[in-house]
Structure 1
Amino acid sequence: MRTQETHPARPDVRLAAARITSVDALRGFSLLGILVVNIAFLASGYRMAGLAEPAFNSSLDWGVRWFVTLFLENKFYLLFSFLFGYSFTLQVDSARRQGRPFVPMFLRRLAGLFLLGLAHAVLLFPGDILTTYAAVGLALLIFRGVRPKTAVALAITLTLLLAAAFMLLAMLATMGLDMSGRVADGSAQAAASNSALGGMFWQIISEHLRKLSFIIVARVFFQGPAVLSACLIGLAVGRLGVLRDVGAHTRALRNLQWIGFTFGLGGALFYTMCAWNGTVHKFWGEAVDLVTAPLLAAAYAATFLRVLPYLPRLGRLLTAPGRMALSNYLAQSLICSLIFTGYGLALVDRVSPPVEVLIALGIFALQVVYSRWWLRNHRYGPVEWLLRYLTYWRRPSQPQ
C-alpha cells in the first residue's frame, strides 16, 4: 500500500493533475464573473442601493447594465460557492489520508476566513462574502456525513423555501407598500454614500459600517441559504467524484446545458426586467432568480468543463488566478477602492458602466499575469499561504 501511495501509476498522476487544473480554471472563470459584477457596486453608491446611476443614462449604459444583470449577476458567486463545497470534500479526504483531525483544522480555517472577510468588509467592500463562507462552513461540518442524494435534497429544499419567502415579501409589497418614497430615500442615501466614499479614511470606514448593518440581515436570511445550497451541491459532486473524470459524464453535462440555458436564461430575463423596468416588484424577480440562477450557473460550469479540453491555452490562463482565488478576490476590492474611493483617485460615480467593465477586464488581465509570475516561485498565493498557516498551525513550505 505504501508503494502505491509513494509511486502512483503515471495515468493516475495525469488524471489528478487534470482534475486540479479544471477545477482551478473554473474557479478563475468564476473570479472574472464576480469582478465584473462587483465593480459596479464598488464604483457607485447608487448600484449598492439597487438603483441606476442617474449620470449615465445612454443606451450603451443601459445595455451593459442589462447584460451584466442578465448573464452574470447572482450566477458566478453561486459557482464560487459550489467550488467551496467541492473543495470541502477534498480537504476532508486530505485530512483522512494524512491521519489528521479534520474538525479543529477546519475550524481554524473558518476563523481565519471570517477575520479576513471582516477586515475586507470594513476596509474595502461591505459586500464581502468570505464571512458568509465562514458561517456556511460550520453548516458543512454538520452535513459532511450526509449522502449525496440527501445533500442535493437539502439544497433544493433550501432554495424553494427561500424563493417562497421572497414571494411572500412580493405579495405583501403588492398589497399596499408604497415604493415611491423608498426610491426617493434610496436616491438620497446613494448620493450621501457617494460623498462619503469619496471622502477621508474615517468617512469611508463609517459608510462601510453603515451599509453592513443592512447587508448582515440580507446575508443571514437570504444570501446565506443560497450559498449553503450551492455548497451542498458541491459537496455532493465531490463525494461522487464527478469532476475526477469529466469525460465520463458528458451526457449529464449536456443535460445540464439544455435545462440550465432553457430555464436559467428565461428566469434571468424575468429577473432583469424586474430589476430595471420597475413594472413588476423586484421581489418577484428575486424569487424566480433564486430557482433559475443555479440552473444557469450549472449550465455555465457544464459548458466550461466541456470546452476546456479544446482550449488548453485558456485553461492555463485561468488556472493561475484560480489557484490564488482568495488573494485575487481581496486584491480586486483593493484595486477598485484605490480607483473609486478616497483611498486613491476618488472616481466614485464618475465612471460609466461600459468603462467599469473594461476596467474589470483590465484588472483581471493583470491578475492573470501576476498570478502566473507569482506561482513560478511559490506554491500558494500570499493570502492562501496565511490561511494555510492558520489551518495547519505551522509554516507551509512555500517554494515549489
Structure 2
Amino acid sequence: MYVQADDYLPLGYPTEGGLLDRAVAGVVTVMGDTRGYPMFAALFGYGVAQIHRRQQAAGREWHDIRRLLRQRGRWLVVFGGCHAVLLYSGDILAAYGLIALLFAGMLRFRDRSLLVAAGVLCLISTTLFSLIAASAGMDGGASTVVSTTENPLRDALNRATGWPGSTLMLVFISVGPFLLGVWAARRRVLEEPGRHQRFLRNTAAIGIGAAIAGGLPLALITSLVWTDPSQATLGLAGVLHMAGGVGGGLGYAALIGLLAVRVGEQRGPLVTALSACGQRSMTCYLLQSVAWLGLFAPYTLNLGRHLGVAGTVLVGVIVWACSVLIADVLRRKNRRGPAETALRRLTYGPSRERSPVQKAS
C-alpha cells in the first residue's frame, strides 16, 4: 500500500501534478486517507450494538438476536459482492457483513474484554497490514482506485477477482474499531452526547491529533516534498499513517457527537439534510459509486485523464453534496433510501417495515 510504483506514489497518488495538486494530496493523506474506514467501522459497531439492545428490550433471546444479526450480515455480503463487481472494488459492505457473521458473539463480551480485544486487534492489524503491504511492492492503492482497462467486462472481472482479498483485508483492519463502537454504544455516547462531552472532547482531540501526527511523514512523500524515501522509511511511514487512521476515525466520530451537542434541537436546513444522508448512508454510498464509475472509468467519461488530484477531490465533494441533496429529497417525501429498504425487508421481512421517521435499525 505504501510502495512507490513508476506512475503512482503511495496511496495511489500520481507522480505528476502542480503545486495545488501536491498540496491537496498532502492534506488528504493526513486528514482523509484510511481515516474513514475506522470511523465507519466504529459507527457500524455502534449500530449493531443498538440493534442488540433493542432486540433484548423486546424480549428476544440471544440465539434469535444472533440469527437476526447474521441474517443481516449475509445480505450485506451479497450487497457488497454486487457492489464490488458492478461498481467499485473497494467495497466495505461485505467486510461489515462478514464482521457481523464472524464476530456477533463478541457482543456478549464484558467491557474490559471488549477494550482489550479491540486494542490488541488494532495494534496487530495496523502493524502487520502496513509492513506486509510495504514489503509486497504494491502500487500504493492505485489498482483499487484507478481503472486502466477500456473494456467494462474485463474491468468487472478485475474487480471480482480482487474483491475477496480486499474484503478480508478490510475485515482485518475493521474489527478493532467495530468493537470500540460496541463499547461506546453501551454507554449511549452518541445518543446522549451531552452527558459525555468531556470524553468526546478528549477523544476528538487525541484522535485527530494522532491522525495529523501519524499522517505527516507519508504526506511529505505524497506531496513530493520528500522525494527519495528508502523502503524501510516507507514501511515506517505506513505504520504511522495506519495507526493515525484509527485515532482519526474515532476522533471524527467523537467530533460528530460534539457537533450534535452544539446544534441541539435547533437544526437548520443543512444539518437536517446531513442527518437525512446519515439515515440513508448505504443508499448514498452506492450512489456515489455509480457516479464515480460514470465519471472516471476509461470507458465512460474518463475525467481522470484530464483532472489532477485537486480537480478529482473537487468532483468528489460535488458528488457527495449531490447525494446529500438526494437524501434530503427522500426525507421530504418521508421515504427510506432504497438500499436501506431492501436490506431491512430481506433481514426482517415486509411485515417489519417501519416509517422512516422512526430510528432505523
| TM-score, with structure 2 as normaliser | 0.83
1:87 pairs, out of 42, 47, 62, with: 47
Identical aligned pairs, as a percentage? 24
Q: 3-state DSSP class of the match of 1:273?
A: helix
> Which position in structure 1 is the counterpart of 2:323?
367
Given the superposition, is the C-alpha separation of residues 343 and 92 from structure 1 closer, same or farther in structure 2, using an over 3 Å criterion?
farther
Which residue in 2 is equivalent to 1:235? 182
What SS class does the counterpart of residue 235 from structure 1 fall into?
helix
1:370–1:48: structure 2 CA closer, same or farther, 3 Å change rule?
farther
Moved more, 81-90 or 148-157: 148-157
TM-superposition CA deviations, 1:225-263 (whole Å, max 9, x none)? 221111000000111222232112222222223322433
Larger RCO of the pair (alpha carbons < 8 Å, separation 6+): 1
Match of 1:209 in 2: 160
- Tell me the residue number matched to 2:239: 287
Alignment partner for residue 244 of structure 1, among 181, 191, 195?
191
Residue from 22, 33, 37 that aligns with 1:73? 33
1:169 positional shift:
4.4
Q: 1:322 aligns to what?
A: 278
Counterpart pick for 1:153 among 88, 97, 116? 116
Secondary structure, counterpart of 1:335 in structure 2: helix
Corresponding residue for 1:21? Answer: none
Partner of 2:249: 297
Aligned length: 337
Deviation at 1:361, TM superposition (A): 1.6
Structure 1 gap segments, 5+ residues each: 1-45
CA contact (8 A) 1:337 1:343 kept: no
* Matched residue, 1:224: 171
Q: Which runs of 5+ in 2 are unaligned?
A: 1-6
Provide closer, same or farther for how the CA distance between residues 399 and 83 of structure 1 changes in structure 2, counting only shifts above 3 A: closer
Please state how far the C-alpha of 1:302 moved relative to its aligned partner.
Answer: 2.5
When structure 1 is superposed on structure 2, of 155-164 and 328-337 the one drifting more is 155-164
Instruction: Give me the whole-angstrom Cα distance separating, in 1, the residues matched to 2:256 and 2:50.
Output: 21
TM-score of the aligned structures, taking structure 1 as reference length = 0.75
Distance 1:259 1:287 in 2: 18
Q: Does 1:52 align with 2:2?
A: no
What residue number does 2:296 align with?
Answer: 340
SS at match of 1:244: coil
What is the CA-CA distance between 1:49 and the residue it aligns to? 8.0
Task: Please give the alpha-carbon distance, in whole angstroms, between the structure 2 residues aligned to 1:365 and 1:219.
Answer: 27
Q: Are 1:148 and 1:240, in contact at CA under 8 Å, matched by a contact in 2? A: no
Q: Distance in 2 between matches of 1:376 and 1:80?
A: 26
Give the match for residue 3 of structure 2.
Answer: none
Q: In the alignment, which residue of structure 2 is the partner of 1:141?
A: 104
Q: Is the 8 A contact 1:162 1:287 kept in 2?
A: no
Structure-1 separation of matches of 2:9 and 2:67? 37
Q: CA RMSD in A?
A: 2.9
Q: Distance in 1 between matches of 2:84 and 2:287?
A: 13
Q: After superposition, give the CA deviation of every residue in 1:336-365 in whole Å (9 maximum; x if it has no partner).
A: 111112563233433221111221121122
Displacement, 1:168? 5.4
1:51 Cα deviation from its structure 2 partner: 3.8
Give the AA of the match of 1:294. V
- Partner amino acid for 1:273? L
Q: Indicate how the Cα distance of structure 1 residues 99 and 209 shifts in structure 2: closer, same or farther if over 3 A, else same.
A: same
- Taking structure 1 as reference, are residues 293 and 399 closer, same or farther at Cα in structure 2, changes over 3 Å only? closer
CA–CA distance in structure 2, aligned partners of residues 385 and 122 of structure 1? 22
